[in-house]
Structure 1
Amino acid sequence: MSAGLGLISQLSPLAQDVIKKATPGITPEALAIAGGSIVAISAIFNGLGRLFWAWTSDFIGRKGVFMTMFVTQAALYIYLPQVANVTLYTIAACYLLACYGGGFATMPAFAADSFGPANIGRIYGLMLTAWGCAGVAGPLVFSSPAIKPVALYVAAGLLIGGFVLAMSYKKPSKA
């Protein structure tokens, strides 16, 4: 969650960095419009990702979806600082936000599968509390201009950690 929220908080400035490199001499107004357009397009994928990944989890399982999202996102976060092409950046941003939305949409089903529908309220409440903490931490890390590329690598590291946790996850046994 920190990786996705951090990216969302800095998506336009990061996009504008790529756009400036690809289009020297672009006016500030055109740069702002282009950056905002990438944010708007990727927001659509945030919504579509919620549908796609939740649907996919019905076929490959919740754990499989999270493992797939974590490992592919980690690779893109490592790749993102090197992207100099606006189209490739937009595709990467759209995929990353589709995964963010997908994770958010798949979490309740994962919790229900793991702890039973009767416990979803308590468990999901804790998950949303963690999401809230990530909502503070991610944007703080991403907003520091001195560590902008490093923040992407930190996000990749967190996602790799999430992959390892998902890989080692076993459904709790009934007491």
Structure 2
Amino acid sequence: MTVSQALKSKEFWIIWFVWIFMGAAGISMINLSKSYSIAIGKPGVTILTTFNLANGIIRIFMGWLTDKIGPRLTGTLGFLLATIGYFIMPHTTNVSLVSLCAAGVGIGFGTLFTISGPLAADIFGLKNFGTIYGIIFIAYGLVSGIVGPAISGMILERTNNNYFVVFIYLGIMSLFGTILILCIKEKKTNKNIKDNIENKNENENENENIEPTSNPNSSPKNNTNTINNINEKASVTIEIECENKSTTSSL
């Protein structure tokens, strides 16, 4: 698919806005973890460390899961965990539960980076993948910072540091990302190619294991004629030998 065709497609803009919403939700957690921990009187390093660990480690599992069920369903699962984390977080001051919620947000953020490449490649192909993916990434690099940390900071200033409002706002961002990823229709191109290759390899292995028992071009009639010809030649040979012996005896 060309860049022009990609920009005209519905899927491109869905992925673009997924990056805005989920990117905003993820990057805001980095900025808010310290200030929120101070507000509730807890050590901020625990919350931020949990978020970063979940964000990094989960990418291995989500990559494996993407190979199994596809990027669309994998993204839905990860984004939903981030949504739940943000909606629960403002209702507790327990550092363990807050850290668990932050881990949910980290999982969603890590999932975003994991599924985006395979999803874009499946939909738009590999010919212009670099350019198309670069344009998609503008949503995160340029817009997410405004929609996430900038507006979150503005909300805190206008509400006298009311974290309930800002976490609900970010939870809604995550929810929008979850809904949008469900609107994408995967083309299943890569999966079909993989299945065809596997089926071809299986058929080749089966053919190699079968030993040929006869010439495939031969028939029962041809085999019978061949046997008769051999018998006739043998009879002629025997008769010639007998005549030679008789001649020798006479001499």
Asked if TM exceeds 0.5, the reply is yes
The correspondence for 1:98, drawn from 100, 104, 107, is 107
Distance 1:48 1:173 in 2: 27
Match of 1:140 among 150, 165, 171: 150
The verdict on how the C-alpha distance between 1:135 and 1:85 changes in structure 2, with shifts beyond 3 A counting, is: same
CA distance in 2, matches of 1:87, 1:41: 10
Q: Look up the match of 2:167.
A: 152
- Cα gap change, 1:171 to 1:41, in 2 (>3 Å): closer
| Runs of 5+ unmatched residues, structure 1 | 21-30
One-letter amino acid matched to 2:146: V
CA–CA distance in structure 2, aligned partners of residues 15 and 70 of structure 1: 23
Q: Paired residue for 1:16?
A: 38
Partner of 2:63: 54
More divergent stretch after superposition (164-173 vs 1-10): 164-173
2:82 maps to which of 47, 59, 73? 73
Separation in 2 of the partners of 1:163 and 1:98? 13
Instruction: Quote how far apart the aligned CAs of 1:173 are.
Output: 10
* CA RMSD between the two structures: 2.1
Q: Larger deviation: 79-88 or 161-170?
A: 161-170
Q: Structure 2: which 5+ residue stretches go unaligned?
A: 1-22, 190-251
State the alpha-carbon separation in 1 of the partners of residues 66 and 36 from structure 2: 31
Matched letter for residue 41 of structure 1? T
How far has the Cα of 1:141 moved from its partner?
2.0
Q: Distance in 2 between matches of 1:35 and 1:158?
A: 23
Q: Tell me the distance in 1 between the aligned counterparts of 2:110 and 2:178.
A: 17
TM value normalised by structure 2: 0.59
Aligned residues of 2:81 and 2:107 also touching (Cα < 8 A)? no
Comparing 76-85 with 135-144, greater Cα deviation is found at 135-144
Relative contact order, CA 8 A, sep 6+: which one is greater? 1
What is the number of residues matched between the two proteins?
Answer: 161
> 83, 98, 107: which one pairs with 2:116?
107
State how far apart, in whole Å, the 1-side matches of 2:38 and 2:64 are: 33
Deviation at 1:172, TM superposition (A): 6.4
**What amino acid is the match of 2:85?**
L
State the SS of the aligned residue for 2:185.
Answer: coil
Aligned-partner Cα distance in 2 for 1:85–1:12? 15
After TM superposition, give the deviation of residue 47 of structure 1 in Å. Answer: 0.9
The partner residue of 2:130 within 121, 125, 132 is 121
Bigger CA drift: 77-86 or 43-52? 43-52
Residue 161 of structure 1: how far off its partner (Å): 1.8
Which residue is equivalent to 1:44? Answer: 53
Provide the rounded CA distance (Å) in 1 between the counterparts of 2:71 and 2:126.
15
Does residue 162 of the first structure (1) align with residue 184 of the second (2)?
no
Identity %: 25
Would you say 1:131 and 2:140 are equivalent positions?
Answer: yes
How far 1:40 moved relative to its partner? 2.5
